[in-house]
Amino acid sequence: MKKTVTFFGFLLFAITGLNAQQQRIVAECTVTYSISADVTSNDKETVESLKASSKTVYIKANQSRVDLSSPSFSQSLFYDKNTGNAVILREIGNNKFISKLDNAKWKAENNKFDGAVVTNSSETKTILGYECKKASLQLKDGNSFVIYYAMNILPSVKEFEYQFKDVPGFVLEYEAQELGGKKIKYTATKINLSPVLASKFDVPTSGYRVLN
C-alpha cells in the first residue's frame, strides 16, 4: 500500500511539474516597451527623442495593435489574424496617412522576414518576472536580430510582428539595426494581462489621406 501511495505521489508531482512548464497562450494583454540605442551622449537630439519614445502592443483574441510614438512621428498598426489584413496609420506633424493591406500585400510587405532562422543560445535572463531565452534571428538578406523571448507564454496573435512569427515564445526584448545603421533596442517595461477594450481596435474612417 505504501509503495502504491508513493507511486501515485510521484505521478502527481510529475504531472504538476509538466503543467507548470506548459506554455500559456496570452489572448488579452497590453505590453509597453522602452526604446534605446547605442548612441553617444553627444547626440543629444537622438538621446532625448528616444527617451520620449515608446512602443505599446495590445492583443485581444485574434486582433492586435502596435503603437509607436515619438516626438515627431506616431504610427498605429492594426492586424486581424482572422483575415490576415492590416491597417497602418501614420501621423507626421499635421499630416495623417492610412494604408490598408490585404493578406497578400501584408505578406509581400514582410517578404524579407520569410525563412528567418531562430538559433537559441544557453543564455537566459528574467524580464518582468518571466524567464527569457536569448536567441538570434537570422534573415535571408544577412541582417539579424538579437532577441529574448519568454518561454512559457505565447501571444495569440504573432503575425503582426512578422519577423517574430516563428519564435516559440513572447518576445520581450529585441535589438535590431535601424536609425541609419545604429542598433535600436526594445525592452518590455510593463505587462498588463487585464482585458483590452474592444474600442482600441476601431480604425478611423475619415481624416486620413489614403496611401496605396
Cα–Cα distance measured from residue 21 to residue 19, given in angstroms and rounded to the nearest whole number: 5
Find the range with the poorest average confidence among 11-15, 83-87, 111-115: 11-15
Among 5-14, 38-47, 91-100, 123-132, the least confident range: 5-14
- Tens digit of each residue's pLDDT (9 = 90 or more) over 129-138: 999 999 999 9
**What single DSSP character describes residue 142?**
S
Mean pLDDT of the chain: 86
Give the amino acid at 185. K
What's the rounded Cα separation, in Å, for the pair 152 and 112?
28
Q: Which fold has domain 25-211?
A: outer membrane lipoprotein receptor (LolB), chain A (2.50.20)
Minimum mean pLDDT range among 22-36, 133-147, 172-186? 172-186
Percent of the chain predicted with pLDDT > 70: 82
CB atoms within 10 A of CB 75: 16
pLDDT tens digits along 4-36: 444 444 443 433 343 345 889 999 999 999 998
Cα–Cα distance measured from residue 164 to residue 137, given in angstroms and rounded to the nearest whole number: 8
Q: Please report, in angstroms and rounded to a whole number, the separation of the first and last CA atoms in the chain.
A: 74
Q: Give the cell for residue 81.
A: 489574424
